[in-house]
Amino acid sequence: MKIENIIAELKKNEWIDLTHSFGELTPRWPGFNQLSKKIILDFDKYPVKTHLYTFPGQYGTHIDAPAHASESGRTLDKIDLKECVLPLCVIDCSQKVLENPDYALKVEDINNYEINYGKIPEGSFVAMRSDWYKNWPDQEKFLNMDINGESHYPGWDIKAVEFLIKERKILGIGHETFDTDPPQKKEQYPFKAEVCVLKNDIYQIELLANLDKVPARGSAIFCIFPKQEGGTGFPVRCFAIYSK
| Residue 51 annotated to the active site | no
CA–CA dist 124, 126 (Å, integer): 6
- Tell me which long-range contacts 161-166 makes (C-beta under 8 A, separation of at least 24): 161/193, 161/196, 161/197, 162/196, 163/107, 163/110, 164/110, 164/120, 164/126, 165/196, 165/197, 165/200, 165/202
Instruction: Sort strands 104-105 and 62-64 into parallel, antiparallel or unpaired.
Output: unpaired
Domain-located, residue 38: no
Name the domain count of the chain.
1
Mean pLDDT across 226-235: 97
Q: Which of 52, 54, 128, 126 is nearest to 95 (CA)?
A: 128
Q: Which of 20, 68, 152, 175 is catalytic?
A: 68
For the cut 90, the answer to whether the pLDDT of residue 231 exceeds it is yes
Residue 124 located in a structural domain: yes
pLDDT category of residue 1 using cuts at 50, 70 and 90: confident
Between CA 117 and CA 65, with CA 170 as vertex, the angle to 5 degrees is 135
Helix/strand/coil for 108: helix
Phi, psi of 99 (to 5 degrees): -80, -25
Please state, as a whole number, how many other Cβ atoms lie within 10 Å of the Cβ of residue 46: 10
Whether residue 79 is contained in a domain is answered as yes
Domain contains 48: no
Residue 180 lies in a domain: yes
For residue 181, the one-letter residue type is D
Domain for residue 39, yes or no?
no
Residue 62 lies in a domain: yes
Q: What is the CATH number of the domain that holds 21?
A: 3.50.30.50
CA–CA gap between residue 208 and residue 61 (Å, rounded) = 6
Distance CA 241, CA 114 (A): 21
51 lies in some domain: no
pTM: predicted TM-score of the whole model, two decimal places = 0.96
Structural domain boundaries enclosing 88: 3-27+56-242
pLDDT in tens, 55-101: 999 999 999 999 999 999 999 999 999 999 999 999 999 999 999 99
**Residues 146-166: what's their mean pLDDT?**
97
